[in-house]
Amino acid sequence: MNITMKRKYSMSRITVTLLAGVLLLLCTACGSGGEKTGNSGTDGDEVFTLRVITQSIFNEVIVADELGFFEDEGISIEYIGAVPQGVTEFQLLEQGEIDAFVSVHPPQVGQARVAGVKAVSVAPGSIDTREYPHIHYLVQDDSDIETLDDLIGKKIGVTGLSACTNGFVDFYLGNKFPGYSPDQVEYAHLGNTANVVEQALLQGLIDVSTSHNPAAGVALAAGGVHEIASSSDILQQENFSLAARGFSESFIAAHPEVVQGFVNAMYRSRLWINNHLEDAIQLNADVLGVPSGNVSPAIFEQAKNNVPADIARWVEIAESIGNWEHGDVKAEDIYTLDFVPADAPASDADIKWEGR
């Protein structure tokens, strides 16, 4: 049997609300008394509207939504817009603007918990492999920077300060050069607008970019830049589990059925991407509005749940770069294994993507 999926966004299923900035978010939170707003869905037979940030990179959330995996679980996804500069998903979670965080790494969950936000990962996401690394370090073609060892004293463009941007660089240089301090490089925080880091590189405003997908693929296809290394060169671990997807403890307690449905849909999505990578590339390209040849894809965790050993390593990395003091966060604080996804239906193997 061949199942052809060709789904389109509709206003009845997805409402896209662009965030004008931090002021709007704070005003909204104040106006609601800090309570969650804009979610009329309920558990049971009714559709639950789950609010997440709008996706801008190759990921499993888009796939699960487009292929109807969330719909199968009684969940409707509402994209609220991009995260404004200087704001985190955890701030939006605490303010009641979103229900789930879907674009973070385990150390960011730990940092949120240190700050008092009781966030918990319920599912993994992408993995880092040599063929499909998470971060690409790009330089101009005429740059004298040849390896990661040359980064000291350089200006490095980042979309924000996080585990995978400045964190990976500091982790590498700290292991390579005893006595290294993060002030030995200059991090240019350029915001999370699409391709902003790569544009700064081409304009000569920075020396090195920390490029995510699909921006890395777009920049490399356009020319004028090349890759000197990737996150795989830093992590030195094939199939390292990178991502954390989850909720607040209070949401989990209030809506366990929704959380289980989310976990089920995300697992199906991860497997489908890994088994239908070319289709997944085209699907993400259609949604993100870029040519498929410019999409730098990712591979996703095949395990049903979070990988404890990899999260434990994340904690070690976070402590080594000063995200928190040793002992402030334990690996088991970051995730739960309580929500084991159901097996993916055999019919998922027959799903094909033929465009929107």
CATH number for the domain harbouring residue 142: 3.40.190.10
Q: Do residues 253 and 121 both lie within one domain? A: yes
* pLDDT confidence of residue 24: 35
* pLDDT confidence of residue 16: 30
Q: Do residues 343 and 258 both lie within one domain? A: yes
Res 41 pLDDT > 80 = no
Q: Do residues 208 and 256 both lie within one domain? A: no
Query: Quick one: tokens of 280?
Result: 């997944």
Q: Do residues 212 and 251 both lie within one domain? A: no
Is the CA virtual torsion 235, 239, 240, 241 positive or negative? positive
Give the Cα separation of 37 and 33 in Å (integer).
10
Q: Do residues 49 and 140 both lie within one domain? A: no
Burial class (CB in 10 A: 0-12, 13-18, 19+), 203: exposed
Q: Determine how β-strand 208-211 pairs with β-strand 136-140.
A: antiparallel
- Contact call for residues 171 and 314 (beta carbons, < 8 A): no
Give the Cα separation of 330 and 339 in Å (integer).
20
* pLDDT confidence of residue 22: 33
**What is the maximal distance between C-alpha atoms in the chain?**
61
Residue 217: pLDDT band with limits 50, 70, 90: confident
Give the Cα separation of 139 and 88 in Å (integer).
28
Give the Cα separation of 170 and 159 in Å (integer).
15
- Contact call for residues 266 and 27 (beta carbons, < 8 A): no
Query: Model's pTM, two decimal places?
Result: 0.82
Burial class (CB in 10 A: 0-12, 13-18, 19+), 248: buried
Give the Cα separation of 297 and 292 in Å (integer).
10
At 158, the amino acid letter reads: V
What pLDDT, in 10s, does the model give residues 78-125? 999 988 878 899 999 999 999 999 999 999 999 999 999 999 999 999
* pLDDT confidence of residue 232: 97
Res 228 pLDDT > 60 = yes
Give the Cα separation of 106 and 310 in Å (integer).
9
Tell which of 235, 255, 279 closes a domain. 235
For residues 321-344, average pLDDT: 96
Q: For all residues of the chain together, what is the average pLDDT?
A: 87
* pLDDT confidence of residue 45: 67
What pLDDT, in 10s, does the model give residues 267-325? 999 999 999 999 999 999 999 888 888 777 899 999 999 999 999 999 999 999 999 99
Tell which of 184, 201, 235 closes a domain. 235
Q: Do residues 247 and 230 both lie within one domain? A: no
Q: Do residues 250 and 349 both lie within one domain? A: yes
- Contact call for residues 286 and 355 (beta carbons, < 8 A): yes
Res 187 pLDDT > 60 = yes
Tell which of 214, 235, 256 closes a domain. 235
Q: Determine how β-strand 155-158 pairs with β-strand 186-189.
A: parallel
Q: Tell me the residue range of the domain where 161 lies.
A: 136-235
Give the Cα separation of 166 and 169 in Å (integer).
5
For residues 22-50, average pLDDT: 48
Q: Do residues 218 and 281 both lie within one domain? A: no
* pLDDT confidence of residue 185: 97
Which residues are 224's β-sheet partners? none
* pLDDT confidence of residue 274: 98
Q: What total of structural domains would you count in the chain?
A: 2
Res 11 pLDDT > 60 = no
Query: How many H-runs (helices) and E-runs (strands) does the chain carry?
Result: 14, 15
What pLDDT, in 10s, does the model give residues 112-159? 999 999 999 999 999 999 999 999 999 999 999 999 999 999 999 998
Give the Cα separation of 297 and 82 in Å (integer).
20
Give the Cα separation of 49 and 210 in Å (integer).
34
